[in-house]
Structure 1
């Protein structure tokens, strides 16, 4: 798998964190907070592929464009950054040796946990 950091999504996540569009949930909440396939489809129908991709920190360049399989490492619910999504992405990126993504997600995690506003 040739998965690389989606720089636009990384910048989008940092911007959302700076604007306090976050959910400070717990590590194990992601299975309940992650968008469902129906929510992904509804977002795609309304916003298109470019906006959809902003919610995924990895791009699998071996997958066809305009397919959900191209996008990896979700971190939010299409409105806010979820701490549990960031933690999940961080551990999966490290597990599969996606070092560039793991470093970016670790930075997002620090931004989230360092924001005490």
Structure 2
């Protein structure tokens, strides 16, 4: 995957955190808190793919634009940033060498933990 940082999503996450829209859950909660495929599809139907993409720190321009495969590294549930999601995506980004996404995740965690 040729994922790189989705700067629009990074800015969106920062604004949500600054507004206090954070779920301060623990590391392993993301598998339970992540939106289901049905929830993702309902969100896209209601808000459009652009809004959906704003909830993913990764984007892949080699994939067809407007498809779920073109975005990666989700960080929330369409209402709040989940700390567990950011921890998870930071680890995955580091594992696959996506340093810009890993570094953005670290900055988001620092911002969340500063409160």
Asked if TM exceeds 0.5, the reply is yes
Task: Tell me the distance in 2 between the aligned counterparts of 1:78 and 1:38.
Answer: 13
Cα shift readout 1:68-93 (whole Å, capped 9, x = no counterpart) = 01110000000000000000110000
Task: Tell me the distance in 2 between the aligned counterparts of 1:63 and 1:40.
Answer: 18
1:62 aligns with 2:62: yes
Task: Tell me the distance in 2 between the aligned counterparts of 1:63 and 1:44.
Answer: 18
Task: Tell me the distance in 1 between the aligned counterparts of 2:72 and 2:83.
Answer: 17
Could you say what secondary structure the match of 1:64 adopts? coil
1:15 aligns with 2:15: yes
Q: Which runs of no fewer than 5 residues in structure 1 stay unpaired?
A: none
Q: Counterparts in 2 of 1:1-117, with a 5 A limit?
A: 1-115=1-115
Q: Which runs of no fewer than 5 residues in structure 2 stay unpaired?
A: none
| Number of aligned residues | 115
Structure 1 segments of 4+ aligned residues over 6 angstroms from their partners: none
Normalised by the length of structure 1, the TM-score is 0.97
RMSD (Å) for aligned C-alpha atoms = 0.5
